[in-house]
Chains A and B, each alone.
Chain A
Amino acid sequence: MNIPDRIERIEVLPVSRERVWDAITRPEQLSQWLSMVRDMDFCVGGTIHFTWDNELSPYPGVIEVIEPAHRFTFRWYSHAIGHPELKLAPHAGTLVEFTLEEVAEGTQLTLVESGFASLPDEAVAEQSYQDNQGGWSALLPGLRARALGQISAM
């Protein structure tokens, strides 16, 4: 049984590390391929502003690591955006890490998005439970049938 917690992708790009670095850290370039990026304050702890559905997202990302031409990491809340009713932010963040490595063919870019299984929030689970009270009544008839079946099998 596998509980997925991360996504990893590796791309070898036939350009220099510096070129890839620019493409992933300069907002005007980043927005060419990660189209929701609007602007960013490029420093550790700096915010990244995103545009969702043509509006500025209320959940900016936060830059965590900058190692020039080597590693760029930020936390974002892209998965919270679609469901404001779940009150996920600021807890439902996932970490996006880009790592660059020079290889014979150019630059190896490794992308990891992680933290899916660690979205911590007992309060949110509680909220959803309250909203899903009906689910318990649906469970009970099935449970009764199973319990009666078990007892008669003894």
Chain B
Amino acid sequence: MTDPQTHLIFAALADPTRRLLFQQLCEEGSGTAAGFAARLPITRQAVIKHLLTLAEAGLVTFYDEGRERHYVPQPEPLQSVTSWIASVESLWDKRLAALRNYLLDEVTQTAPKNQTGSNTDSLRKGYKQNDQKH
């Protein structure tokens, strides 16, 4: 992961109940623990625990109005997740391009005797010198 916050977000959204709570908060704009517990097959305490985990990840905030605590979604942190996923996709694009090049180099090589050097290179264990964690 690129940073602890992104990991917290993944950990928070790993749980399907939390994903559902977050989704409903996004759809409705805000919610209360009692409101969720009335609609879902989980206790109010469990709802609060889940909402706190979402808050720790920065996905939810809350305010108190009299005796009621209202939870409000903050979807902006999901941006960091989307960017991170995009960076992993870009890594795979590079790797697959390298695979294609590797396969096509093999296909277009026509002089077997010149290959001795390159075969030794490809059998050498491990990693390229300019390794960038591809």
Contact = CB atoms under 8 A, between A and B. Distances in A.
Interface of A: 1-4, 7, 9, 11, 13-15, 19-20, 23-24, 27-29, 31-36, 38-39, 51-54, 79-80, 82-83, 86, 88, 92, 109, 111, 113, 116-122, 124-125, 128-129, 131-132, 135, 139, 142-143, 146-147, 150-151
Interface residues of B, number: 54
Interface in B77-100: 78, 81-82, 85, 88-89, 92-93, 95-96, 98-100
Interface of B: 1-2, 4, 7-8, 10-14, 19, 22-23, 26, 53, 55-58, 61-65, 75, 78, 81-82, 85, 88-89, 92-93, 95-96, 98-104, 106-107, 122-128, 131, 133-134
B92 A111 contact: yes
A102 B22 CA distance: 42
A35, A80, A118, A132: residue with the most chain B Cβ atoms closer than 10 Å: A35
Given A14-B107, A19-B103, A38-B125, A128 B23 contact: no
A120 to B, nearest CB: 5
B122 A32 contact: yes
Top 10 closest A-B pairs, CB basis? A33-B98, A33-B99, A147-B63, A125-B11, A4-B85, A32-B102, A119-B10, A35-B134, A129-B56, A146-B63
